[in-house]
């Protein structure tokens, strides 16, 4: 599932194909993919334009165009940008085909049709996003001030793109596991030490996954067709029934706000005062379990 590390990888790997190239032709084979524009608006906004920059913002891939407009691409669940030489069969589930001046084709492949491409003017769509979690401005203090304002559950709060941009379901689970924070804790209930630990965990998890070129769960493929291998390093995500790598406990899967959530019930304790009650932690764990 494309989250920040996958989108970062796709952005970096599509860039050499498109940067400085003129867009010669555009075909929309599934109109729903571009439904933020009319098909005509989408095509006319791209045709004849040179790509002057390619960057990532949150989970968006942003192509800056010579007419001052931007092409925003969101891969959502199953989207992929595929670069292929002309004359090769388009990939299955292709929704948009972009032909570059050198004949290279960029396809938007998306089996489940959740993904979107849109040509926009201005910054509105990107300005709604929260800070980038890997930028130096995103300090532990910034994370704490964001989460302290929220009374909801920590897991869905981390997924709110207007608060922090780029974290998705898999990496939220991984970060909470690394920081030993239960996904059902209230976002504003962490100790100062826990906010710092979570901050370190978020940056470590995301940076490590970028080095591994993203996680090839489900449909994620890189523009040249290669897979990522970040999922091999996952400690909890999609590992139901396996044993915790820290304590050996069986990992659990629960549903939080409709999302599959993986965690270690022994390492990630729900009780806020667990540190002060180490001697009773065993009984606390059991009572927390039975409440759920």
Among 21, 55, 69, 113, binds DNA (CB under 7 A): 113
Among 74, 105, 180, 185, binds DNA (CB under 7 A): 74
Q: Are 275 and 284 in contact (CB under 8 A)?
A: no
- Among 196, 210, 199, smallest CA distance to 175 is for 199
Q: Phi then psi for 93, rounded to 5 degrees?
A: 65, 25
Q: Is 89 a catalytic residue?
A: no
* Binding of residue 112 to DNA (CB under 7 A): yes
Secondary structure letter of residue 251 according to DSSP: P
Q: Phi then psi for 56, rounded to 5 degrees?
A: -110, 140
For 28, residues 6+ apart whose C-beta sits below 8 A from its C-beta are 34, 39, 42, 43, 95, 96
Taking the least distance from each CB to DNA, the nearer of 49 and 70 is 70
Taking the least distance from each CB to DNA, the nearer of 136 and 258 is 258
* Binding of residue 259 to DNA (CB under 7 A): yes
The least distance separating DNA from the CB of residue 109, rounded to whole angstroms, comes to 11
For 147, residues 6+ apart whose C-beta sits below 8 A from its C-beta are 154, 157, 187, 188, 190, 195
Catalytic residue among 2, 5, 183, 223: 2
* Binding of residue 114 to DNA (CB under 7 A): yes
d(CA 269, CA 194): 12
d(CA 68, CA 91): 30
Tokens of 155: 């897991």
d(CA 256, CA 268): 15
* Binding of residue 257 to DNA (CB under 7 A): yes
Taking the least distance from each CB to DNA, the nearer of 152 and 225 is 152
Catalytic residue among 57, 59, 105, 266: 59
* Binding of residue 3 to DNA (CB under 7 A): yes
Q: Is 56 a catalytic residue?
A: no
Classified as helix, coil or strand, 228 is: coil
- The answer on whether 112 is annotated among ligand-binding residues is yes
- The answer on whether 185 is annotated among ligand-binding residues is no
Q: Is 2 a catalytic residue?
A: yes
Q: Is 91 a catalytic residue?
A: no
Among 71, 146, 170, 251, binds DNA (CB under 7 A): 170
Tokens of 109: 């492949």
* Binding of residue 260 to DNA (CB under 7 A): yes
Between 24 and 43, how does the x/- string for binding to DNA read (CB under 7 A)?
--------x-----------
Q: Which residues form the catalytic set? A: 2-3, 59, 259
Q: Which residues are annotated as a binding site for DNA?
A: 112, 150
**What are the residues binding DNA (CB under 7 A)?**
1-3, 32, 58-59, 74, 76-77, 93, 111-114, 149-153, 156-157, 159, 161, 168-170, 237-238, 253, 255, 257-260
């Amino acid at each position: 599932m494309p989250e920040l590390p996958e989108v970062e990888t796709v952005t970096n790997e599509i860039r050499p194909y498109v940067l400085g190239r003129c867009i010669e032709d555009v075909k929309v084979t599934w109109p729903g993919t571009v439904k933020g524009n009319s098909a005509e608006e989408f095509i006319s906004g791209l045709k004849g334009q040179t790509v002057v920059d390619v960057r990532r913002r949150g989970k968006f891939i942003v192509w800056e165009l010579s007419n001052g407009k931007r092409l925003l691409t969101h891969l959502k669940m199953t989207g992929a940008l595929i670069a292929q030489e002309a004359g090769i069969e388009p990939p299955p589930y292709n929704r948009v085909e972009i032909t570059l001046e050198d004949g290279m084709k960029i396809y938007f492949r998306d089996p489940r049709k959740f993904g979107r491409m849109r040509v926009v003017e201005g910054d509105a769509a990107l300005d709604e996003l929260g800070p980038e979690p890997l930028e130096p401005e995103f300090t532990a203090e910034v994370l704490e001030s964001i989460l302290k304002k929220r009374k909801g559950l920590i897991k869905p709060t981390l997924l709110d793109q207007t608060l922090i941009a780029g974290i998705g379901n898999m990496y939220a689970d991984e970060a909470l596991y690394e920081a030993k924070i239960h996904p059902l804790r209230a976002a504003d209930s962490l100790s100062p030490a826990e906010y710092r630990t979570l901050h370190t965990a978020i940056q470590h998890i995301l940076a490590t996954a970028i080095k591994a070129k993203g996680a090839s769960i489900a449909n994620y493929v890189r523009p040249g067709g290669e897979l990522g291998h970040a999922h091999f390093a996952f400690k909890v995500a999609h590992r139901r029934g396996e044993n915790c790598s820290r304590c050996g406990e069986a990992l659990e899967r629960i549903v939080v706000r409709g999302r599959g959530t993986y965690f270690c019930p022994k390492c990630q304790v729900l009780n806020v005062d667990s540190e002060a009650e180490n001697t009773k932690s065993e009984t606390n764990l059991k009572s927390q379990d039975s409440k759920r």
